[in-house]
Amino acid sequence: MSSSQGYVKRALSLQKILLKYRDPLLARKLVDRIHDLSRRVDDKVVIMNFCGTHEHTITYYGIRSLMPANIELVAGPGCPVCVTPSRIIDYAIKLALDEGVIVYTYGDMYKVPGTKYSLAQAKSLGANVRVVYGFNDAVKQARSDRRESVFVGVGFETTMPTVASQIYIGNVPENLAIIPAYKLTPPILKYMLGRGDIRIDGIILPGHVSTIIGVESWLFLEGIVPSVISGFEPIDILISIYIILKQLVNHERRVINQYRRVVQFKGNVKARKIMSEVFNIVDADWRGIGLVPKSGATLADRYSNLNAEMRYHVRIDKSIDVKPGCKCADIVLGKAKPTDCPLFLKACTPERPYGPCMVSSEGTCHIWAKYGGYNEVK
């Protein structure tokens, strides 16, 4: 068999697997079972997802419209760029405009508003801002350009290994620094559960993150709230909702790994080891939420020479995370829906975003605006 034939065979096999996870007949059976279980719970049930891709699946496939009246699906802080403080954007812009530093950033950070400008707007003012697919691209370009440059390091545990691995093997050129603004998901979930003003009866845990940190990182939820690590296809989501409802009916509070085809108990052991050596855990600001204990990651002391905030002594005196009228802070906490915001699809659109939740493909407002989630609100 030629390599091209092997590729076609694997592609067809993958397509066959995907079709199983999008099977409308199986989806109908699961929805019927969810309706049956919903009649056995005592009250309204609020199930929160912690991943923008899960929110995309729920909205794109119209899963909310299939739910019983007493089952509410809400989005939590599953969009890393949405919770990146304005200070990080302001700092990168100041480096670019005042110091002539090249700024490398992910595409979904490009239009996120800072206090005054987004990186895209700063580019129109003369800032050298370049969109890259990943950190490896920034490394290659920086090595080629040989000019002072920074990479805006945002994301959850999923993207951290791509940076940590290059630092660990010493593959980062001297002219490239990192603005570390990484966020950790278990601490923000602990914080939300401890607030007392956010209702969470069940949790759909992030699949991508869990491939790195593993099932064991979520075991603190045992005995507290039904939680399911879920895959990203519609059948995955429906199975996860069913498991949560079944636990509620049986008065259980367990962590279940529905995404066993990818997620292991200890996750990616090698990636976690490298991350622990390259990064230190710190208290971190979440945009619109505030300081959350031990919820961020910065470069370890031995790599401080790569930390942009150590290399460039640039100060940001004041930044504004939440602009007047924007409800993004409440939306990422699951306390509000995009349709609760008076600016949604008026002063704030995907073409002209006012708040961070409307920018990224993982932002709840962007997802609802693009795929019509506002039509499914009960």
pLDDT per residue as tens digits for the range 304-362: 999 999 999 888 989 999 999 999 999 999 999 999 999 999 999 999 999 999 999 99
H/E run at residue 79: none
The pLDDT mean for the chain works out to 94
What DSSP element (H or E) covers 40?
A: none
Amino acid identity at 59: T
Q: Pick from 162, 172, 86, 164: which is nearest to 122 by CA?
A: 86
Residues in the chain: 378
Would you call 74 helix, strand, or coil by DSSP?
strand
DSSP assignment, residue 267?
-
Contacts of 254 (CB under 8 A, 6+ apart): 222, 226, 227, 247
Phi, psi dihedral angles at 179 (to 5 degrees): -95, 100
Phi, psi of 288 (to 5 degrees): 80, -10
Mean pLDDT of 193-218: 97
Q: Round to whole Å and give the CA distance between 367 and 357.
A: 9
- Spatial contact of 284 and 295, defined as CB atoms under 8 Å apart: yes
Q: Does residue 257 have a pLDDT over 80?
A: yes
Give residue 222's pLDDT. Answer: 98
pLDDT digits (tens, 9 = 90+) for 84-96: 999 999 999 999 9
Measured distance CA(255)–CA(252) in Å, rounded:
10
CA–CA separation, 357 and 343 (whole Å): 12
d(CA 371, CA 345): 12
pLDDT for 241: 98
Question: 3 falls in which pLDDT band (50, 70, 90)?
Answer: low
Mean pLDDT of 239-258: 97
Beta strands in 156-278 (DSSP E): 176-183, 202-205, 227-229, 255-257
DSSP 196: S
Report residue 374's pLDDT band, with 50, 70 and 90 as the boundaries.
Answer: low
Distance (Å, rounded) from C-alpha 67 to C-alpha 73? Answer: 9
Which backbone phi and psi does 307 adopt, to 5 degrees? -80, 115
Environment class of 320 (CB within 10 Å of its CB; exposed 0-12, middle 13-18, buried 19+): middle
Predicted local distance difference test score (pLDDT) of residue 15: 73
Give the C-alpha separation, 260 to 21, whole Å.
14
Element spanning 374, H or E = none
Instruction: Note the pLDDT of residue 313.
Output: 86
Structure-model confidence comparison of residues 267 and 377, the more confident one: 267
Residue, of 301 and 6, whose pLDDT is higher:
301
Whether 47 contacts 201, CB under 8 Å: yes
Which contiguous run of DSSP H or E holds residue 343?
none
pTM above 0.75, yes or no: yes
Look at residue 288 in the predicted model and tell me its pLDDT: 87
Rg (CA), the chain: 21
Residues 188, 293: Cα–Cα separation, whole Å: 8
At 50-87, the pLDDT tens digits run 999 999 999 999 999 999 999 999 999 999 999 999 99
**Do residues 360 and 351 lie in contact, with contact meaning Cβ atoms separated by under 8 Å?**
no
| Topology classification of domain 86-184+267-311 | Rossmann fold (3.40.50)
Bridge partners for 181 per DSSP:
154
CB atoms within 10 A of CB 50: 26
